[in-house]
Amino acid sequence: MCRKVDKRLVTGLVAERVINLFKVIVCQFFRRREIAKPIILSYRNEESRFDHRKIDRSKLYGKKRRLALDQEGNECQRASLMDDGSLILKSGMTAQGYFTTNDKWIPNKDLIGLDLDGKPLDLKPSTLGVATEMELQEQLEDLADLSVGSIYSLEPIELADETKSLLDSGCVFRFPFNYRADYNEETGYLLKNREGYFALIGNPSTSEWAELEQIAVEDFDENLIEEEDIDFEMF
Q: What pLDDT does 87 receive? A: 78
DSSP letters for 150-202: EEEEEEEEE--HHHHHHHHTT-EEEEEE-SSSBSS-EEEEEEEETTEEEEEEE
Task: List residues bridging with 53 in a β-sheet.
Answer: 153
Over 70: is that where the pLDDT of 6 sits?
no
Task: Kindly list the domain boundaries of the chain, sorted by start residue.
Answer: 37-57+122-204
| pLDDT tens digit sequence for 143-189 | 888 999 999 999 999 999 999 999 999 999 999 999 998 888 999 99
Q: Distances in Å between the alpha carbon of 210 and those of 175, 207, 213?
A: 31, 10, 9
**Cα–Cα separations (whole angstroms), residue 204 to 84, 144, 198, 232:** 42, 9, 18, 53
**Bridge partner residues of 61 (DSSP):** none
CA distance 158 to 168: 15
Q: What values do phi and psi take at 212, rounded to 5?
A: -75, 145
Taking residues 28-39, what's their average pLDDT? 62
The larger pLDDT score, comparing residue 21 to residue 74, is at 74
Please give the pLDDT value at position 9: 46
Cα separation, 48 vs 192, in Å, equals: 14
- Which pLDDT score is estimated for 21? 60
pLDDT band at 7 (very low <50, low <70, confident <90, very high): very low
Check pLDDT > 50 for residue 10.
no
Q: Can you give the pLDDT at residue 47? A: 95
CB 66 within 8 A of CB 75: no
Residue % of the chain over a pLDDT of 90: 34
Predicted local distance difference test score (pLDDT) of residue 2:
44
The 3 state secondary structure assigned to 78-96 is CEEECCCCCCEEECCCHHH
How many C-beta atoms surround the C-beta of residue 156 within 10 A? 17
% of the chain beyond a pLDDT of 70: 74
Q: Whole-number mean pLDDT of the chain?
A: 79
pTM: 0.64
Confidence of residue 27 (pLDDT cuts 50, 70, 90): low
13 vs 118: which has the higher pLDDT: 118
Which among 121, 83, 120 has a CA at the least distance from the CA of 103? 83
Choose from 43-52, 63-72, 84-93, 210-219 the range with maximum mean pLDDT.
Answer: 43-52
